[in-house]
Copies of this chain bind each other. A is one copy, B any other.
Amino acid sequence: MTERHMPPPLRFLLAARRSELQDLETLARSCDLVVRIGALAHALQKERGYSNLCLCSGDARMRPALADLSHEALTLEAEVRRMLDGLAADPAAGRARARLLNSIAHSLFRLDELAGLRRQVRDLRVPAADADARFTQAIGSLLAVVFEAADAALDPDVTRHLVALLNFMQGKELSGQERACGVMGYTAGSFTDAQKVRMLGLAASQERSFGIFAQYAEPAARQAWQQIQQQAEEMRRMRAMAQRTSAGQPLDAGLAEIWFQLCTARIDAMRGLESLLAQALAQACAQRIADARQELHDRRLLLSRHAEHASGRLPSMVYSVQGRVVDQPPADGAGDELERSILDMMREQALRMQRADEALAAARGALDEARRVDRAKLILISRHGLTEQAAHERLQRAAMEAGLSLSDVARQIIEQAAA
C-alpha cells in the first residue's frame, strides 16, 4: 500500500518519523558548519597570536610567515562563507533561525573588518592591544554563530557531543586570548594590574569551559584532555610568575617568546583534540541519521502491512480500526491486536520524544549559559558603550565580587535590562 493511500492516522504517524529524520539532517548541516567555523577560528587564533608577536616585537622579518597565516585564514573563510550562503537559502525555519541569521550578519561584518586590520598589522601601524581586540571580536562573533547553530539541535546524543565541542572551542579561544595577553605583559617586562586581573579571569573562564567540556565528553576525549593538562605545568608556572611581576623589577623580554611557544604548543594540542571531537560529532550525526532512516523504513513497512490487513477486512471504511474498540471484537481477534499495536506505536513515539526532551534540556542548559553571558555582554555594550572586552571584564569582576557564577551575573543583568 502506498503512503498516499494510507489512512490518515498512519500517514501522520509516518510524517512524524520523517520530520524527525529531517531535523537530524538539518542538525548534521549545522554540525558541519560548527566544524568548519572551528577550523577558521583556529586559523584566526594563530594569526592573532603571530600578529601580536609581530606588533610587540616590531620585527618586520616575521612578515612572510604572517602573510601565510593570513592566507590560510582567508581560504578557510571563503569556505565558511560559501556554507553560510547555502544556509541563508535553506528554507527550513526554526526557533533559533532569526537569531542565527542575525549572528551570521554580525560575524560577516567582523570578518569584513579584518581586511583593513591585516594591512595595518603588516605595516606595524596598529597597537598590539587593538589588533588583538579586533581579532578577538571576529573570533567571538564566529563562536556566537556556532552557539546559535547548536540551538537547533534536537537530538540528545548529538547535543551532548555538541556541548562538549562548543565548550572546548570556547576554552581554546580563551587560551588564545591568554596567550596574547601574556605576550603583551612579558614583552613589556611586567604586567599591569588590569592585565593581571585579566589573566586571572581568563584562566578561571578556561577552567569553567573545560569543566563543562569534560562533563559532556566521551571518556577517550576526557583522557586526551588530561594528557594535555599534564603537559601544561610550565605554562602554569609562567601564569603564576606573571602575577608576581612589577614595573619596578621588569623581567627579561625574551620570556615573551617562551610563553608564546608554551601556549602555542598547548593550543596546537587542543586543536588536535578539537578535531577528534568534531569527528565524534560527525559520526554521532551520521549514526543517528542512519538509525532514523532504518526506523522510518521499518515503520513504513509495518504500517503498510497493518493498513492492508485492515482494509482487506473492511473494504468499505476508510480505516477499519474505527469504532471497533467498543464494537464486538472481530472473530479472529486480529483487529484488537492491530489497534493495540498502533496505539503502542503512538505512545512509544511520544515517550521516546519525551525522554529525548529531558536529556536535551540538561545538555542545553550548558549552551544556554554561554548564550546568556553573550547577551549580558551585548547589553553592557549597547547601554554603557563598553567594548566587548571591557564588558566581559566587568561581568567577571561582578561575578568575583558577588561570589556568583558568570551565568548568574549575566541573568541579573538581563533581568534588570528587561525591567
Contacts and interface: CB of A to CB of B under 8 A. Distances in A.
Given A9-B106, A327-B116, A350 B93 contact: no
Nearest to A318: B112
B88 A321 contact: no
A interface residue count range (under 10 / 10 to 19 / 20 to 34 / 35 or more): 35 or more
A350 B19 contact: no
Nearest to A104: B12
A105 B19 contact: no
Nearest to A91: B91
B13 A354 contact: no
Contact of A116 (B11, B326, B344, B379): B326
A252 interface: no
Interface string A318-353: 110111111100000000000000111011111101
A375 B346 contact: no
Contact of A10 (B105, B131, B347): B105
Copies of this chain, how many? 2
Name the 9 nearest CB pairs between A and B, nearest first.
A116-B323, A112-B322, A12-B105, A16-B101, A9-B109, A16-B102, A13-B105, A19-B98, A9-B108
26 contacts: A7-B112, A8-B85, A10-B105, A16-B99, A16-B102, A19-B97, A19-B98, A22-B93, A26-B93, A93-B93, A94-B94, A95-B95, A98-B349, A98-B353, A99-B353, A102-B346, A102-B349, A109-B342, A112-B323, A113-B325, A114-B323, A115-B322, A116-B323, A126-B326, A134-B325, A134-B326
Given A112-B318, A358-B415, 11 more contacts: A7-B112, A8-B81, A9-B112, A12-B84, A16-B98, A20-B98, A115-B322, A120-B327, A347-B382, A351-B378, A358-B414
Interface of A: 7-13, 15-17, 19-20, 22-23, 26, 81, 84-85, 88, 91-95, 97-106, 108-109, 112-117, 119-120, 126, 130-131, 134, 154, 318-319, 321-327, 342-344, 346-351, 353-355, 358, 375, 378-379, 381-382, 414-415, 417-418
